[in-house]
């Protein structure tokens, strides 16, 4: 259980610190004086990268929950 918590926390903090710009975007945006556009592009890339992972995790959770719920036993008279 501790291993799962550590892996979860590591992935959350790694995601928050990640730098997701490609080489071409980085070269163009670093030549700019203000870094506002670079930060905006980087945040947009991180958002676009996170959405598919969240969707896959949600679908996986619902499938797991569907197959691992205890079945109710019906008592007939």
Q: What is the pLDDT of residues 14-69, one digit of tens each?
A: 665 555 556 777 677 777 777 777 778 778 888 888 889 999 999 999 999 988 88
Tell me what pLDDT residue 21 has.
59
52 vs 1, 18, 57, CA distance in Å? 26, 16, 9
Asked if 37 and 49 count as a contact pair (C-beta separation under 8 A), the reply is: no
Tell me what pLDDT residue 64 has.
92
Tell me what pLDDT residue 54 has.
92
Tell me what pLDDT residue 61 has.
95
Tell me what pLDDT residue 24 has.
72
Tell me what pLDDT residue 36 has.
78
Q: Which residue reads 């499938």 in tokens?
A: 63
14 vs 30, 37, 48, 52, CA distance in Å? 23, 22, 16, 17
């Amino acid at each position: 259980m501790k291993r799962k918590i550590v892996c979860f926390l590591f992935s959350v903090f790694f995601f928050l610190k990640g730098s997701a710009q490609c080489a071409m975007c980085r070269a163009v945006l670093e030549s700019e004086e203000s870094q506002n556009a670079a930060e905006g592009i980087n945040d947009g890339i991180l958002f676009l990268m996170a959405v598919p992972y969240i969707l896959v995790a949600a679908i996986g959770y619902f499938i797991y929950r569907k197959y691992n719920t205890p079945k109710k036993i019906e008592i007939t008279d």
